[in-house]
Amino acid sequence: MSELELNDYIQAIAYQIPKDGNVINGDSFFMKVTDEYFICAVADGLGSGEHAYHSSNAIREVVEKNHDQEVKLLIDCCNQVLKNKRGATLSILKVHFSPMTFTYSAVGNIQFILSCPSGRIIYPLPVQGYLSGKPQKYRCETFTYEKGSKFIIHTDGLANPGIKSLASSSSSIEEISNYLKIITKTGKDDMTYIVGQLF
């Protein structure tokens, strides 16, 4: 499954495949672009299959309904919706085009990297653990970015130590996505990634 979002400020490609032998992917993602901002969320339900999907999809629905809200509020709402469900890890990225800033927050093992043309690398560390409806600490960080910056967000089903080099390369996001598809055709876990470039 793949999806594309773009306007004058961003181009982003999302792709996901389920764990070998599974029909249902336990990961979910959401992307939305407006004239003012781009937001995406990647959620990884604990385990795999249907029960994992119910948790990650509940998060996707919360972000979809409330994408105009700030990241700190969104991640708290996502935690609340997981009461009495299997837990999930979560990453939310919200880019504001006019001031050229983005806010990022993550709980668990979803990775994010952004590479600027100047060579600056932004690699915020997630808070350990997972969302389960219980009280949870969050870390929301806001950064500036440069035109031409590229980013990659991925669940732990994508095991590639070369992500930093990919994000920093001169390759287009289509080329990066095609490369990632090739190395993830078979996997021991559900896998989701979003590759994007900001203009």
- Three-point CA angle 51, 19, 138, nearest 5°: 60
Dump pLDDT digits (tens) for 93-104.
999 999 999 999
pLDDT single digits (tens) 117-147:
999 999 999 999 999 999 988 999 999 999 9
Domain range for 138: 2-198
What is the pLDDT, as a whole number, of residue 182? 84
For residue 103, the SS3 value is: strand
Domain count, the chain: 1
pLDDT grade, residue 2 (50/70/90)? confident
Q: What is the pTM of this model?
A: 0.95
Task: Give the model's pLDDT for residue 21.
Answer: 76
Report phi then psi at 196, rounded to 5.
Answer: -145, 160
Distances (CA, A) of 91 to 48, 59, 63, 69, 194: 18, 10, 11, 15, 11
CATH code of the domain covering residue 63: 3.60.40.10
Q: Give the number of other CB atoms < 10 A from CB of residue 80.
A: 11
pLDDT of residue 72: 96
pLDDT at residue 157 greater than cutoff 90: no
What is the model's pLDDT at position 24?
Answer: 92
> Residue 187 and residue 191: Cα distance in Å, rounded?
8
